[in-house]
Every structure is written in C-alpha cells, then in structure tokens.
Amino acid sequence: MSRLGTLGARLYRGEVGYDFVAKRKIWYGISILITITAIVGLAVRGLNMGIEFSGGAIFNTTGKTSVSVQAAKETVETASGHTAIVQKTGDGKLRVQVSELDEKQSRATQAALAKKLGVPTDKINTDIVGPSWGEEIANKAWTGLAVFMLLVVIYLAIAFEWRMALAALVALIHDLTITVGIYALVGFEVTPGTVIGLLTILGYSLYDTVVVFDGLKESAKDITKQTRWTYSEIANRSLNGTLVRSINTTVVALLPVAGLLFIGGGFLGAGMLNDISLALFVGLAAGAYSSIFIATPLVADLKERDPQMKALTRRVHAKRAAQAARADSAQDEAGSQGVEDDDEPQDASPAGVVGQRRQPVSRNRGGRGGKRR
C-alpha cells in the first residue's frame, strides 16, 4: 500500500489526524481575506462581459486567410471604435468579436474587415447580438442560481439539519464569490460557458460537503449518551476520515480541467476554452477548500451553541479532569511507595507510566496436561 493509502487508512481509523475544527478561526480569517480581495477586484475591475450579455457582433471568415491576428484587430478597432477580440481557428479562419455594436456599425466594420482581407463582403459571416437578449440570458442564470440555492437548503435541512444547510449555503456563496472575483481580476470574458462552469462547480462543492456531513451525521448519532468526545472532536474525526477521499476526488477532477485551461487555452491558444475551464478550475479548488476548512468547522461552531452540546462538553471535560486527578494521585502514591521500598527492585519504566502486567508463572511446570484433580 502506498504512503498516501496508509495515511488515509490511519486517518479513517482515527489513529492520526489534524485538528481542523480547533483552528477554525485561522481558516475563517483566511477565507475572509480571500473573499474581500475577490470583492475588491470585482468592484474595481468589474467583469468583462461578452457580447452575449452586452450585445455586439461576431465576424467569421469563410476561408483561410494570411492576414495576421494583430492586423485584423487594428482594422476592426479602427472601423468600430471598440475593443475587438480576434482569434485564429485551427483551419486558418478568423473569428472577430466586438461588443456594443449596433447594426450600422456592424456593416461598416464588416466592410472594413473584408477590404483588409481582400475578399467580398459576403464572404464574412456576421452575427449581431442585441443587449436585450444578453440581459434575458443573465436574468435566467440568476434565477437558476437562486432556485438551486433554495433547493439545496431545503434538501440539506430535511436530510441533515438546518445548521448543516446553513453551513453548506455559506460554503457555496464563498466558492461563487471567489470564482467571480478571480474572473474579474484575470479579465477573462464572461460568456454562457462561464455561467455553465459556475453552475457546475456548485454541484462539485456540494458533493464534498455532503460526504463530510453524512459521515458526521453517522458519527454523532446518540452523541449525548457518551462522555468520551465533544461534538467538535467528533466533527474533526469525521473530517479526517473523509479527508483523503476529498483530496483524491478533487485532484482527479482538476487534472482534465487544468489540461483545458493551461494547455488548451494557454499553450494552444484556444481562447474559447478559457471561459468554462477557469470557472471550473477555481471553483473546484475553492469547493474542496470550503468543504474542509469552512463547512464542517462552521457546523461545529453552530452545534456547540446547543444546550445539549454545551452540557455534553461540560461532562466530557469533567470526566477528563477526574481521570487526570486520579492519574496524578496514582503517580504520587507510586512515587511514595518507591521511596519507602528502595531495597526492592524497580521497574525500568519511568515514573507514572503503566507498563504491561506481569503474568503469574504457571504452576504446571512438568508440562502435564489434563484437568486439575
């Protein structure tokens, strides 16, 4: 078994672990800092909305062209007066995208581009998108997001409890805010693919959170009938038990998305892949982080305010204090007895450490078996 597999098995059995819940204030502070940075980036730079949302025109050449991307970009921007996005497809054709163009400006831009390419105007396909259509798409996206959030809260409140539903909702909002903020900071164009990516990451984020919550629900069953662990400690044990699984699933999901983003969009220059791949990559990473460092510690925080959990915590601490007092008393008694019996042989173990009990020597030294008479 690999080291990671061995570590995962030990985490699951509770033999080793990291106290995520006890250090929750650190994670809260990191998340707040990242979220504030994302919000500031969104407020200062804003989102680079594509023509599907802001309106504009898309020009596609029907044949292969030798004109460079930069030359076509300068021609279009001079004719339209707006910033253009020019991409060369794999078959040598050009795709030009210009936002906020009306029909008259689109015809003038099409003519200027055809002249630059040395082709008839009808050899350039033009698609005009009105801003009203983009606004309708944006409204539907917001409606779908609101409905999704509502259904998630209702489902988690029924399947688990309202505290877990609230923690999952906070984690989802955290993931969305960070993803949108990074989109604004990077300056990638927001397209329908971006919306699809944002809605997709919500499912991934919720999956990791539900896996942890399901284990926590099972571990916390009849928790008030024992005095060994507090709710926060059981939550941390459940989190450590699913930690390796969450990491493995996240890494497996991130690998193909990273290929789309860094190789397809960056190295190969397929800019259209950036729209969905960046949202997926950032959202998946943020979702894995929030399910471990935000959702479960927040549930423990909310649950520890319950009167039953407060009473359980007091009983657990009282029992541990009593056990520690008995151990100290036994240690002091053993130390006193050791001083009085200096002539007796001493155990090699340090004071206060209880070693293995010595088994009595068997009386049947002759090796005879059978029943005693």
Query: Cβ atoms within 10 A of the Cβ of 37, count?
Result: 14
Long-range contacts of 109-112 (CB under 8 A, 24+ apart): 109/57, 109/59, 109/76, 109/79, 109/80, 110/57, 110/59, 111/79, 112/75, 112/76, 112/78, 112/79
Q: Is-above-0.85 flag for pTM? A: no
Cα gap 87→75, rounded to integer Å: 14
With cut-offs at 50, 70 and 90, classify the pLDDT of residue 248.
confident
- Residue 294 in 3-state DSSP? helix
CATH topology of domain 56-129: Alpha-Beta Plaits (3.30.70)
pLDDT above 70 covers a percentage of the chain that reads 80
Write the CB contacts of 330 (distance below 8 Å, at least 6 apart in sequence): 352
Q: What are the residue ranges spanned by the domains of the chain? A: 3-49+133-311, 56-129
Tokens of 260: 């789309």
* Burial (CB count within 10 angstroms: exposed 0-12, middle 13-18, buried 19+), residue 340: exposed
At CA 256, angle to CA 242 and CA 183, rounded to 5? 90
What pLDDT is attached to residue 36? 93
Of the options 3.40.50.300, 1.10.3720.10, 3.20.20.10, 1.20.1640.10, the CATH number for the domain spanning 3-49+133-311: 1.20.1640.10
Average pLDDT of the segment spanning 296-301: 92
The sign of the torsion formed by the CA atoms of 33, 39, 42, 45 equals negative
pLDDT tens figures, 310-369 = 898 899 889 888 888 888 888 877 776 655 554 444 444 333 333 333 444 444 444 444
Residue type at position 139? N
